[in-house]
Amino acid sequence: ETGVTQTPRHLVMGMTNKKSLKCEQHLGHNAMYWYKQSAKKPLELMFVYNFKEQTENNSVPSRFSPECPNSSHLFLHLHTLQPEDSALYLCASSQEGKGTQYFGAGTRLSVL
């Protein structure tokens, strides 16, 4: 248990569906992150939120829409995804500027 919880753990969706991934951290951190891990590729940073404000968007397509209502919760809203978006999506949190990031167990997404 890392203190970062992601739901759902698995998700299968069609290209016309809308779904959301949820992340919650119980560590009192003020920075949260979304990463994408595709097969045979390094983890790619997607978004960074510091104190609920988005400070990084790593050229992510608009079909991925993050939301951070408070420092403990982070969502990733998905719509009109493509099959190549199938991947493991990982959430992490840290104390801003103090480095150590703690990861959730991930949501394994399949887009049909």
Partner 1 sequence: GIQVEQSPPDLILQEGANSTLRCNFSDSVNNLQWFHQNPWGQLINLFYIPSGTKQNGRLSATTVATERYSLLYISSSQTTDSGVYFCAGFKAAGNKLTFGGGTRVLVKP
* Interacting residues with partner 1 (CB under 8 A): 2, 31, 33, 37, 41-43, 45, 48, 50, 56, 88, 90, 92, 94, 96-97, 99-103, 105-106, 108
Neighbours of 39 (CB within 10 A): 7
The least distance separating partner 1 from the CB of residue 59, rounded to whole angstroms, comes to 12
Nearer to partner 1, 3 or 80 (CB): 3
Nearer to partner 1, 21 or 48 (CB): 48
Contact at 8 Å (CB) between 81 and 92? no
Neighbours of 44 (CB within 10 A): 14
| Cα–Cα distance measured from residue 107 to residue 112, given in angstroms and rounded to the nearest whole number | 16
